[in-house]
Structure formats: structure tokens, C-alpha cells
Amino acid sequence: MSLALFRWSFLLACLLSTVALAGESRPRRQKEKAAKLVRVEGGHRLHRDTATALKRMATDALKDNVALRVTSGYRSLREQRFLYDQYRRGRGNKAARPGRSNHQRGLAVDLVIGERTSKRYLWLEANACRFGFRRTVPSEPWHWEYRPSSTFPPVVGFDCLGNPTTSREPPAPIARTDAS
Ligand SMILES: [Zn+2]
């Protein structure tokens, strides 16, 4: 191959890959819009209802000097497939089968937890239900799902574990419907 021909083929390859990438980003944006995704702390994405509830919970946690940090939110089918493959090969945490994870709906969020005795974890156990969040995977203390229609707030004066609370005002009630 002559040098000139090589240069032309290289240029053409670059041009084609640019066109391919541009074509890929639009459907992705449309999918995100259809899934009602919004960006949250750390650049992660969540369903907008999950994001709103998480923001309220994080604000409340800060009053107790607990900072909630997100490590994983919405995942595309491709991302979930990758994590599931890693899990199957024994290289990653447990991951649901592609298509069966609530991360793909933007309703699940993974948070920095540390130990089960950490202040963050204990705070979540005692308070997350007030914001419609609960744990759904026993082996994953970092995994919380927004399920407001089936997660009930505690009786006034008690926390989510049934322990008496201090005098702090409970938050205003939230809509008890699951995100669609
Ligand atoms: Zn998770």
C-alpha cells in the first residue's frame, strides 16, 4: 500500500468512526429521557423520583453528620451484562441477570457503607424507610431500592427499626406510589 493510500484509508476510518459515535449518542440520550433519568451526586444517574427521594434523605442525613455517597445508580443493559459476566466469573460482587436489576430502572442505588456497624449504615437502617428506601439483597448492605408503595414509615416517635427516636421532626409524607 502506498503512503498516500494509507493516509486516505486512515482518514476515512477516522471519519467513519466519528459518524458512528455521533449516531450512537442520540439514541442513548433518548433512552435516558424515556427512562426519566436525572444526574445525581458523583455523576451517577437515577430515575427522577429516586433522585428526589435520595436528595431529601441525604439532606436529612447531613443533619446527623452522615454524608451519603453514591457508588452506582442507573445501569444500561450493557453495563449490567458486564457486571453479571464479572460476577459469573467470580471477579465481582453479586449482580442480577441483565434485565432483572432495578439498577436498570434507576430505582436501585449503591451507597458507600463501610462496615455494618458504621455510622452511615446504622443511620440508613434507622431512617431510610422514612424516605421510601429499603434493602432488598441481604448480602449487599450497600444496595438500597426506592420502593415507596411498599416501604412504610415508622410510627411517630420511632425509627425504622422500631427504636424510640429523639425529638427531631419527621419529614413531610411522600407520595406512596412506585415510580413508573
Ligand atoms: Zn446495587
pLDDT at 178 over 90: no
Bridge partners for 133 per DSSP: 146
For residue 94, the CA-to-ligand 1 centroid distance in Å is 9
For residue 109, the CA-to-ligand 1 centroid distance in Å is 6
For residue 121, the CA-to-ligand 1 centroid distance in Å is 15
State the pLDDT at residue 171: 59
For residue 22, the CA-to-ligand 1 centroid distance in Å is 30
Give kind and range of the element (H or E) at residue 38: strand 37-39
For residue 110, the CA-to-ligand 1 centroid distance in Å is 5
* Maximum alpha-carbon separation in the chain: 81
Is the pTM above the cut of 0.85? no
**Which of 147, 137, 132, 151 shows the shortest CA–CA distance to 180?**
147
State the pLDDT at residue 12: 46
Chain segment 78-100, per-residue pLDDT in tens = 999 999 999 999 998 889 999 99
For residue 75, the CA-to-ligand 1 centroid distance in Å is 10
Chain segment 104-126, per-residue pLDDT in tens = 999 999 999 988 899 999 999 99
Chain segment 6-57, per-residue pLDDT in tens = 565 544 444 444 444 444 466 766 666 667 999 998 899 999 999 999 999 9
Chain segment 138-171, per-residue pLDDT in tens = 989 999 999 999 999 999 999 999 999 875 555 5
> In angstroms, rounded to a whole number, what is the distance separating the alpha carbons of residues 169 and 156?
9
Residue 104: what are its φ and ψ, rounded to 5°?
A: -75, -15
